[in-house]
Structure 1
Amino acid sequence: MKFVKIATYVLLAILVLLQYPLWFGSGGVVAVWRLNREIAAQEQENAQLKDRNQALEADVNDLKQGLAAIEERARTELGMVKKGEVFFQVIEQPRDKIPPADKKPKP
């Protein structure tokens, strides 16, 4: 009877020792779960970078092919104006300095 208990404990210990690398070893389940999460994050980042690269490629093609894209960039980024055009600059007041509509300043 004592031999059966000892054999049971020995077999249980062997089972635990064999299961440890499966769960916690370098190629274990925990490592695979971690790698799967890292792969998903990398794929998402790659998709975002691919979209950005396609947008940049489209901009480059526009700049190579036509003057409209160059003109648009000159207007928006450099503030350039064509001959004969009038430039208006609207400066908005910060919201905290605008008086409420129902309380107009007294003259």
Structure 2
Amino acid sequence: MRLVTVVLIILLALVQYPLWWGRGGWLRVHEIQGQLAQQLKQNDDAKTRNDRIAGEVQDLQNGTAAVEERARYEMGMVKDGEVFVQFVSPNQPPPAPSASSNTSTRGVMSDAPVKVVPNPVSRVPEKKRGRGKEAKKAETRKADAKKKAGRT
């Protein structure tokens, strides 16, 4: 009877070994499930990033609001007729100027006094400001009105 018990225990151990430590055993399955969960998380993060980038591309292709926002915040640009005002805390020391000249100067303070121009002259040509044909027509109408007033 003892011999049968020992043989059965050995057979049970031989059956259990591949179940736990074999190629398709429980430990390997647990390890692969962990890898799968990690990969699914990476995929979700990449999908979220791709969706965000796709939305940004669509905004840039369809409208001018995204382009304007980038020009304002990344390049420090302002529209014609606008005045840029930056509030600075008087208790903070001015930051050191950066050595690279190709970066934006947005947020850099200087000790120079502020000069406010009440009606700045635009450097953009008339045609690019969108006043092309309409402005010429208005000027022609004004000239015609002056000629008629001079005849009578």
User: Which position in structure 1 is the counterpart of 2:41?
Assistant: 44
Following the alignment from structure 1 to structure 2, what is the Cα–Cα distance between the partners of residues 34 and 22? 14
How far is 1:88 from its partner?
Answer: 1.7
Number of residue-to-residue matches in the alignment: 91
Q: What does the per-residue CA deviation read over 1:30-49, in whole Å, with 9 as the maximum and x for residues that have no partner?
A: 11111112111211221111
| 1:64 and 2:61 are equivalent in the alignment | yes
User: TM-score, normalising length from structure 2?
Assistant: 0.56
Following the alignment from structure 1 to structure 2, what is the Cα–Cα distance between the partners of residues 81 and 26? 65
User: Which position in structure 2 is the counterpart of 1:55?
Assistant: 52
Work out which of the residue numbers 21, 31, 34 in structure 1 matches 2:31: 34
User: TM-score, normalising length from structure 1?
Assistant: 0.77
Task: Give runs of ≥4 in structure 1 deviating > 6 Å.
Answer: none
SS of the residue aligned with 1:81?
Answer: coil
Amino acid at match of 1:19: Q
Identity score, percent? 45
What value does the CA root-mean-square deviation take over the aligned residues?
1.4
- Greater relative contact order (Cα < 8 A, sep 6+): 2
User: Which position in structure 2 is the counterpart of 1:90?
Assistant: 87
Q: What does the per-residue CA deviation read over 1:46-75, in whole Å, with 9 as the maximum and x for residues that have no partner?
A: 111101100100000110111111111111
Q: What does the per-residue CA deviation read over 1:12-34, in whole Å, with 9 as the maximum and x for residues that have no partner?
A: 11110111111111210111111
Summarize the alignment of residues 9-24 of structure 1 with structure 2, pairs less than 5 Å apart: 9-24=6-21
Following the alignment from structure 1 to structure 2, what is the Cα–Cα distance between the partners of residues 27 and 89? 65
Amino acid at match of 1:8: T
Following the alignment from structure 2 to structure 1, what is the Cα–Cα distance between the partners of residues 88 and 33? 51
How far is 1:85 from its partner?
Answer: 1.1
